[in-house]
Structure 1
Amino acid sequence: MTLAPSRPAAGADAPARGAGPALRRCFGEAAERIAGEHWNTRPLLVRAADRAAEGGRASVHDLLSPADVDELLGPRALRTPFFSLVQDGTPLPRSSYTRRAVAGNQQLADLPDTDRVAAAHAGGATIVLQALHRTWPALQTFCSQLAADLGHQCQVNVYVTPPGAQGFKPHHDTHDVVVLQVDGRKHWTIHPPAVELPLKSQPSTQLGPDPVGGRPPAIDTVLEPGDALYLPRGWLHSARTTEDRSIHLTVGLLATTWADVLTDAVASAGVADVALRRALPLPGAPGAADGVPDEEVAGFRAAAQRWLDALDDDAVRRLVARRRSGAVPAEPVGVLAQDEAARTLAEGTALRPRRGVRSSLVPAGEGVDLVLDDRRVTFPGWLRPALEHVLAAPRTSAADLAAAGVGVDVPDALVVLRRLLRERVLLPTAGEPR
């Protein structure tokens, strides 16, 4: 197996050095090398046996197992488009593998018909379970943790391919991916990019029927259960099962690029320069070439350059921080558990911050506002140290807060924590591992 030579990372910011727990879960000690040697540049393959030898987990069945796939298609009855069937790179008609049912007074026509799904799968069709980060709790948690590790949004699809079949022909993705082999084996053939770091507007369909063009592969290998592969966007790849069926997870890393940051910056470009707030000239204005006078074009270019020159480094870093803060979605709230926790809150009840909720504390007269994405919650100003402690602590309770030396006793702490539960900023930890 050979790999493309390393070069400086391009595109969006590389993940911060010091890999987080989800990235380590996939790549073990090699996760520390992703930021400097692999991000946006070249693949990384780590075998399950090597990860286990370092003390990590070999299996990924805690994230998804073959039995879980059957549950999703059977008792849980995923609806389209959360599942589909593909054969030889072509989606099968939904009507060929779905059934009708009644829910209340609503007619549903997009539930899996497991008899027809089984028949199509036996005939060579790949089962695709899409966006499982939205529907399967273990993958939801894993994807959220990985997004926090990387600072980029993540999504998860699952591909269940029968023996001796190929789901898709050689192609590239327009986002980086992490492949986790769940069950069975799959033979992967990977070639260097034909287009470096393609955007969504540059799908591999634009490359013609033979994007590989006879070039030798950079990686030609079989993934076995628990193996992990990082593949930067643009790398051409295809995969075929051997005598085994295959189940693998594809985690799409929806990277923020510098072009995205530039778009965010440009959105505020007219605030400081009136020249950029002026309307375009009317058609037929005197001296216009193609409808726009030359001096107007020159004025626009000069104003844009002034704006770019005035864009300081701290402003760019704030834009990047805002993008990164949006990478982790707010985790779902257990509606009944949340209500019960608020009603029965005791001084020893353990709580934690809700992942993906962006918040800040700002002065508000004699009070302090907890600023959330969609609202502000006002507290007395003297509670600011207590709020800072709660928002920063991995876990807390009223007893912990009262003992933290932040100016509150247990009754005060119960009031603060109950309010934060009602505002869905904190979640109860009952049933979670410590």
Structure 2
Amino acid sequence: MSSTSTDFQDPGAVKGGGVLETRLIDIGQEKFASDVWGRTALLTRGVSDFSDVFSAGAVDELVSRRGLRTPFLRVAKGGSTLPESSYTSPAGVGATISDQLDDTALWRKFADGATLVLQALHRTWEPVSSFSSQLSTELGHPVQANAYITPPQNRGFDDHYDIHDVFVLQIEGTKRWIIHEPVHVDPLRSQPWTDRRSAVEEAAQGTAYIDTVLEPGDVLYLPRGWLHAAQAQGKVSIHLTLGIHTWTRHALAEHLAQAALAALCDDPGMRRSLPLGVAGPEEEIAAVRERLAAAVLEADTTSLFHRARRGQGRPAPLGPVAQLAAIDGLRPESLVRLREALEARFDGSRLTTRVGWLDFPEEDLPSVRRLLEGGDYLAADIGLELAERLLRAGVLVPVTQ
């Protein structure tokens, strides 16, 4: 393996048979990538049982026993989001934070037809976190997860579009989904549906592209910009939405411009003040355009891109007590592995990850590169000193039996 700046390793990467192919689609990853991804909606029936990922029991535990605070939950009814003060309260002695979820207030809202939206489940529910992390690795784009719990015959939101792609996983109950084609194709994050409210409302009155009822195990994929509204049927509906925050060419252009502008800070001519008496910048535009274009051509955005990518996700959970015990009990026979979702990347002899960077002497590089390939390793095979250093850095974690 080369140690150039283009090296990237993630042992969670799946060459085939990952969660996308086995649990979300039934047409194969290649066909999905060429015919569906970012292009059109896709409905897949009965592709998987998601009870191991999320359930009604998970909803009740998160709402009533985990001490969640806003914004980990919001409540919507009739197309509007309810004020947080209507379902939060202090939690009593020792936990007087005012914005903790009030399960009694939430029950009353839910019984009155409100939809509960559990947000950022990739941070609060481990099975969803693992599923989202694996999907993110396979797609190469950040993934978030929300759950929508809707009482029978109710809807939480009116017709709208999202500024990220979504996979909708029906968990329990049934829900009718009405899908319309975009009024604005591939919206950026700065272009929400509310900017085109009238066009969305008009398009929603037309013939639907998809009008169907999702049942448990069904999956719906929608690219960003596709209009949708959903209503629960005869029972409580629970669905999980995996939001894919896609990287775009526009985002890469932003990085190029950012790198170019940073480089121009070192150009004395660009820092110089405009002449006195200049009525407008027209005379200077041509020279500035020429220098900016040259800076864009020379800009290296590789490190900027990977830094931004690392910042959009988190590594796999690390328990401080277990980590310290692993260091204190480190023996030649101890088993360790690379922490997942690190976005580990070599630049020469430097390893850059989501938890920081480490420089290594030449003799340690083969062992570290081997770790990046994934799998469990004996500390003796890595070297006890190197294994301890990587455990202390949060790069390695102990293998639990």
* Shared fold per TM-score greater than 0.5: yes
Secondary structure class of the residue paired with 1:95: helix
Structure 1 CA distance for aligned equivalents of residues 25 and 263 of structure 2: 48
Q: Which has the higher contact order (CA 8 A, sep 6+)?
A: 2
Name which of 21, 26, 46 aligns with 2:23: 26
Separation (CA, whole Å) in 2 of partners of 1:40 and 1:277 = 43
1:113 to 102, 106, 110: 102
Residue identity in the other structure for 1:143: S
Q: Which of the pair has more CA radius of gyration?
A: 1
Residue of structure 1 in register with 2:371 after alignment: 390
Question: How far does the alpha carbon of each residue in 1:286-328 deviate from its partner, in whole angstroms, 9 at most, with x for none?
Answer: 3432xx2x221111111223334446xxx56776566555554
Q: Which residue of 2 aligns with 1:429?
A: 399
1:210-359 matched pairs, under 5 angstroms: 210-212=201-203, 214-270=205-261, 278-279=270-271, 281=273, 285-289=276-280, 292=281, 294-310=282-298, 315=300, 324=309, 328-359=313-344
Unaligned runs of 5+ in 1: 1-15, 52-57, 403-412
Contact 2:259–2:301 (Cα < 8 Å) also in 1: no
CA contact (8 A) 2:204 2:227 kept: no
What amino acid maps onto 2:293 in structure 1?
Q
- Per-residue displacement from partner, 1:322-381 (whole Å, max 9, x unpaired)? 655555421221111111111112333322111232445566xxxx65445665545543
Cα 1:323–1:93 shift into 2, 3 Å: closer
Give ranges in structure 2 of 5+ residues lacking alignment.
Answer: 1-12
- 236-245 or 25-34: which moved more? 25-34
Q: Out of 33, 42, 61, which is 2:51 matched to? A: 61
Instruction: Provide closer, same or farther for how the CA distance between residues 96 and 369 of structure 1 changes in structure 2, counting only shifts above 3 A.
Output: closer
> Is the partner of 2:377 in helix, strand or coil?
coil
Q: SS of the counterpart of 1:356? A: coil
When the two structures are superposed, what TM-score results if normalisation uses the length of structure 1?
Answer: 0.81
Partner of 1:37: 35
Do the aligned partners of 1:163 and 1:244 also contact (CA within 8 Å) in 2? yes
Identical aligned pairs, as a percentage?
36
TM-align CA RMSD: 2.7
**Partner of residue 124, structure 2:** 135
Q: Helix, strand or coil: the match of 1:101?
A: coil
In the superposition, the TM-score normalised over structure 2's length comes to 0.87
Aligned positions, number: 385
CA distance in 1, matches of 2:389, 2:161: 48
1:7 aligns with none
| 1:270 positional shift | 4.4
Contact 1:19 1:149 in 2 (8 A): no
Distance 1:370 1:169, change over 3 A: closer
1:20 is displaced (CA, Å) by 5.9
Alpha-carbon spacing, 1:345–1:203, altered in 2? closer, same or farther (3 Å)? same
Q: Deviations over 1:47-104 (max 9, x none)?
A: 11xx3xxxxxx31111111011000111113212111211011122223222322353
CA drift at 1:25: 3.8
For 1:94, the aligned partner's letter is: E
Secondary structure of 1:102's partner? coil
